[in-house]
Amino acid sequence: MSPNENSPPDPAEIESRILLNWIVKLMIRDVDEYLRAQAVPIGSAQFSVLRVLRHGTQNLSELGRFLLLSPATLVPVIDALVKHGYVRRERDPNDRRRVQLSLTAEGDRLVQQLTCKPYQDSYHRAWQALRPDQRASLLKTLRHIIAAMSESPSEVEARLAEIMQTHLRRTADE
């Protein structure tokens, strides 16, 4: 038994959990509001999938790795996109066990329509309001928390660099 198991909860830890969860919910809310304003029948998770698939065919595992979601979480998201006619599933011709996911012409049109209309979400505005030293401190703290929570702390920086590189390349393409 570790010494912390019997300690009373740290109010600052509880507050940090609440605040991080709140930030995520506000970011999702902003994207969902933007999508509703554009009158499209998808939510933020589906939009994320479409944006990734815009840059090429992926299987469920690849998609999940990039979005940091499990395949089980992605299946209903993909099902809805297939139902709306935005994504197609096809067997990989080189490995019939694998299913490849790609955008349909309608899905590609929708992503182009949505990504050519930039919006300023509340996170962007909040980030811009921070001083450079506050931004640096926040990034350092978040990296430290993720490394401490990770099963492979040594891989955190490499994984972050991979995700950032892919995200920045994809964002530049949009």
**Mind listing the pLDDT tens digit for each residue in 12-35?**
999 999 999 999 999 999 999 999
Please give the pLDDT value at position 118: 57
* Contacts made by residues 78-81, CB under 8 angstroms, sequence distance 24+: 78/49, 80/42, 80/46, 81/42, 81/46, 81/49, 81/50, 81/107
pTM across the whole model? 0.78
10-124 CATH fold: Arc Repressor Mutant, subunit A (1.10.10)
Pull the structure tokens for residue 90: 């096809």
Quote the CA–CA distance of 172 and 164 in Å, as a whole number.
12
**Per-residue pLDDT for 120 more than 60?**
yes
- How much is the pLDDT for 169? 74
138-156 pLDDT, tens per residue? 999 999 999 899 888 778 8
pLDDT at residue 173 is higher than 70: no
pLDDT of residue 29: 92
Q: Where are the domains of the chain?
A: 10-124, 130-174
43-99 tens-digit pLDDT: 999 999 999 999 899 999 999 988 989 999 999 999 999 999 999 999 888 888 889
**CB contact at 8 A, 87 and 50:** yes
Q: Inter-axis angle of helices 132-149 and 153-173, to 10 degrees?
A: 130
Give 1's pLDDT tier (boundaries 50, 70, 90).
very low
User: Is residue 1 classed as helix, strand or coil in its secondary structure?
Assistant: coil
